[in-house]
Amino acid sequence: LLSDRIGTRPLIFTGLVLQAGGLAWITAISSPTTAFGDFIVPFMMAGTGMALVFPTAAASVVASVREAETGKASGATNAIREIGGVMGVAVLSSVFAANGGFTSPQAFTDGVVAAMPIAVVVLAIGAVLSLLIPGKDKVEADAAKTEDRGDLDGQGPGDRGDRDQSGPGRGSDRRPGPRPIGRPEPQVLAASKS
């Protein structure tokens, strides 16, 4: 991933700035007579910003937790993102409806021009807050410390194999674990060949 090479903070900051800039540009040029072609570059700018932010933020959250917690972290991230999207649509559409509507091109423009600055401000605040995300060196150092000492509950990478972890195929219990779905047991394969 690009975030592995240059870090999470620069990508999220750049993405939020691109989104804010694209939406500000759309607000600035919006009028009933603006040609569709005039919106191409600002929409591409905002879309590129989204493409930098969403996967980077999700990958960052999942990478910041232990392997056993990645499902919870991913689910929480997706739920928060969805709630944020719903809230954003609710607020912006309310502002749009209060200031404009679909009755005429001018009413539509009035609604868009009233709603977009709110999105721009929220994105700008997000960009500033993204500067508080730990830098790549700090995250790597914290990960190395965790790996060196192991996690407090004994499930971290620092102590794997040091003690018997109950369950099939773990620790001193060398029974094989469950097979992936669709793969037959070895004795079934041997019987089917004869």
How is the chain split into domains, by residue range? Answer: 2-141
157/67 Cα distance (integer angstroms): 10
Task: Provide the token pair at 162.
Answer: 């040091």
- Please write the tens of the pLDDT for every residue from 65-104: 999 999 999 999 999 999 999 999 999 999 999 999 999 9
Task: Provide the token pair at 175.
Answer: 């029974």
Residue 27, pLDDT > 90, answer: yes
What pLDDT was estimated at residue 66? 92
CATH topology of domain 2-141: Growth Hormone; Chain: A; (1.20.1250)
Q: Cα angle at 110 between 108 and 112, to 5 degrees?
A: 70
CA atoms within 13 A on the CB side of 60: 22
Task: Report how far apart, in Å, the C-alpha atoms of 109 and of each of 21, 106, 142, 181 are.
Answer: 18, 5, 49, 55
Question: Do 142 and 148 form a contact (C-beta atoms < 8 A)?
Answer: no
What pLDDT was estimated at residue 145? 54
- Please write the tens of the pLDDT for every residue from 105-147: 999 999 999 999 999 999 999 999 999 988 665 555 555 555 5
H-helix or E-strand spanning residue 33 = none
